[in-house]
A and B are shown apart, each in its own frame.
Chain A
Amino acid sequence: MGPGVRKHVELLVAYAVQFIKVRLAYRADFLISTGASMLATAFAFGFLVVLFQKVPQLAGWKFEEVLFLYGFSLIPFGLFNVVSLNLYNFGNDFIIEGKFDRVLLRPVASLYQVIFEVFRIESLHEVVVGLLGVWLAASRLKLAWGPLEFVLLFFFALCGAVIYVAIFLMLTCVSFWVEDRVGVHPPVWNLIAFGRYPLSIYSGFVQFLLSWIIPFGFATYYPSVRLLGRPEFRVYAWLVPVVAATFLTMAIALWNRGVREYSSTGS
């Protein structure tokens, strides 16, 4: 296991360095894409400010608290965006165009190769902006944080990214069975935005959906509740790693079944 892990980390670094080199080679493309992406984030924050000029509170949450939730939600989201590109392209590029054969010919886990082949590095700005939002909100709220909270912040963010990866990976696996050019990702992708606001503003159905079916609430809302020290749903914070691990395990199991399906049909 030891040398295996080391090899995979080395490979990941090598893949990332390569990819960044390529990205920087197309400088204009990279700058435009980063600029557009940052503009979108800025608009979203602008919306939040406008919203709170009309309503002082949102389901008992102050502006700063929502700002915290919003900022925190960008951290796992940004991390996820960095590695998610091939999840959307998988059906087209790998199954239909046949790149998956190449993956199966290499002595490295197939999922590892697919996920870490491309990176959307410009999405790292979402992590930075998110951290800024969290810092701004936390300092205005005068949150009394110990070292544990700082550790939790990063741990939760990581769990959140894992939850996103797991959910979209399951959707990606559909390509093993169904030739899918449209993509099943967009409708679910739109649900991510729901997790940027307190779940308590939604109907019971939406709360249930975002907690137990497509658990985006565990990526953003429940961790923020714990970090803000709010009274509701405090115990849920302990479920965050459990949900992340469970969904990731299910997604990987589904992926492995998909690979077997591919190996017997060649698609």
Chain B
Amino acid sequence: MPDAPLISVRELSKQFRTFKRREGVWGAIQNLVKRDYRTVQAVDRVTFEIQRGDMVGYIGPNGAGKSTTIKMLTGILVPTGGEIHSNGYVPWKQRRQYVKTIGVVFGQRTQLWWDIAVIESFKLLRKIYDVPQRDYDERMELFNAVLKLNDYLHTPVRKLSLGERMRCDLAAALLHNPPILFLDEPTIGLDVVAKDHIRQFLKEINQRYRTTVLLTTHDLDDIEELCKRIMIIDHGRLLYDGPLALLKQKLLRTKQVKFVVKDSEQAARIAVLEKDGRKIEAVDHLTYRIVFDRAEVSTAELLRQILAEVEVRDLLIEDEPIEEIVKRIYAGEALKEVSA
């Protein structure tokens, strides 16, 4: 018997009424009297379910409705239509009980107190969430081990680097061991090492506590590393909801072969491969790349040609980066064949 979904979202919609602000003092007075309202459909009849323990990536271009969805899921915003049931609660109706069972990280904005040492923030949060001392100690130990918080626990948040701050924010969001974790761009602005730390930590938490994670991101490596399932939203509509692998399989159009020739003598011969409108890019003086459409060219045939013409020292076949696929989806490429 399958479990009931932990999060269930049905026909979720959010409209904002905004108005154009006029400039200047006179404009401000006019604003008070007469406003030209415009309705913006930020989220448009979105439906999905998430099972306990899943890690789901939620992507879309800026302004697509990701953050608005997260804000409704966390109880900050009240939907204008549809329903949310999350961990047995209706978030906006039972906000105070509900938020005890979720952790939230907004990458752009810290949840910690700016001026006080990190450890003091944690102690305050322990009180706010009624975390027993023993649980607190146990979790802090884990967080220290994976996130290496010890080095800056006594530093005020405002003095932390972005990467350090993000680690602290993650730990803070998980102090009360919530079954659900919402992350809005958790790796934004971080360097490769910090990103890797965060991803390892999320994996660890997911495995250890079966924490359900929904994360929005612009970095598709986050998704590839963490999520089997991906949801794509644009203009408030859910365009795709399914396995990442399926998306790739259906929409993958090009592949690339990268190869290193033996020496500069071989490099000089490279032009012989330039036929059938094929383009060869030089990566450096011995490394070359050929991008090809996998529907038109067979990989085996291409490899055979390359190996026949030049002496190759190393060779790598890669799929089109997931970024390229997603870019094409945003640009309006039909998803019919996938969402079916």
Contact = CB atoms under 8 A, between A and B. Distances in A.
B129 interface: yes
B282 interface: no
B288 interface: no
A168 B77 CA distance: 26
Nearest to A3: B130
A106 B128 contact: yes
Contacts of B233: none
A187 interface: no
Contacts of A25: 115
Given A98-B109, A266-B16, A266-B71, A104 B95 contact: yes
B129 A107 contact: yes
Contacts of A107: 96-97, 99-100, 128-129
A263 B92 contact: yes
25 contacts: A11-B128, A14-B127, A21-B120, A22-B116, A25-B115, A101-B71, A104-B95, A105-B104, A106-B128, A108-B96, A108-B128, A178-B32, A263-B76, A263-B77, A263-B78, A263-B92, A264-B77, A264-B78, A264-B80, A265-B16, A265-B17, A266-B16, A266-B71, A266-B76, A266-B77
A22 B157 CA distance: 12
A109 B128 CA distance: 11
10 smallest CB-CB distances across A and B, nearest first, come from A107-B100, A263-B78, A22-B115, A264-B78, A104-B76, A107-B96, A107-B99, A105-B104, A266-B77, A101-B76
Given A7-B130, A11-B127, A266-B16, A104 B113 contact: no
A13 to B, nearest CB: 9
Interface in A155-191: 178
B259 interface: no
Given A7-B130, A105-B75, A260-B78, 16 more contacts: A11-B127, A15-B124, A18-B124, A21-B120, A104-B75, A104-B95, A104-B99, A105-B74, A107-B128, A109-B96, A263-B78, A263-B92, A264-B78, A264-B80, A266-B16, A266-B68
Contacts of B287: none
Nearest to B130: A7
Nearest to B97: A107
B125 to A, nearest CB: 8
B99 A106 contact: yes
B301 to A, nearest CB: 55
A18 B120 contact: yes
Given A21-B116, A22-B115, A265-B17, A105 B76 contact: yes
Interface in B1-31: 16-17
A5 to B, nearest CB: 14
Contacts of B250: none
Interface in A1-46: 7, 10-11, 14-15, 18, 21-22, 25
Contact of B111 (A14, A105, A178): A105
A217 to B, nearest CB: 31
Contacts of B17: 265
Nearest to A11: B127
A206 to B, nearest CB: 28
Instruction: Determine the main DSSP class of B at the interface with A.
Output: mixed
B106 interface: yes
Contacts of A106: 99, 128
A102 interface: yes
B269 interface: no
B123 interface: yes
Interface string B70-108: 010011111010000000000010011101100010100
Interface string B134-152: 0000000000000000000
Given A105-B99, A263-B77, A7 B127 contact: yes
A102 B77 contact: no
Interface in A79-111: 98, 101-102, 104-109
A246 B113 CA distance: 34
Nearest to A266: B77
Contacts of B95: 104
A102 B127 contact: no
Contact of A101 (B97, B106, B127): B106
Interface string A243-267: 0000000000000000010011110
Nearest to A7: B130
Contacts of B97: 107
A235 B17 CA distance: 50
A86 to B, nearest CB: 13
Contacts of B32: 178
A108 B127 CA distance: 10
Nearest to A260: B78
B216 to A, nearest CB: 15
A56 to B, nearest CB: 48
Contacts of A109: 96
Contacts of A22: 115-116
A176 B162 CA distance: 31
A95 to B, nearest CB: 13
Nearest to B101: A107
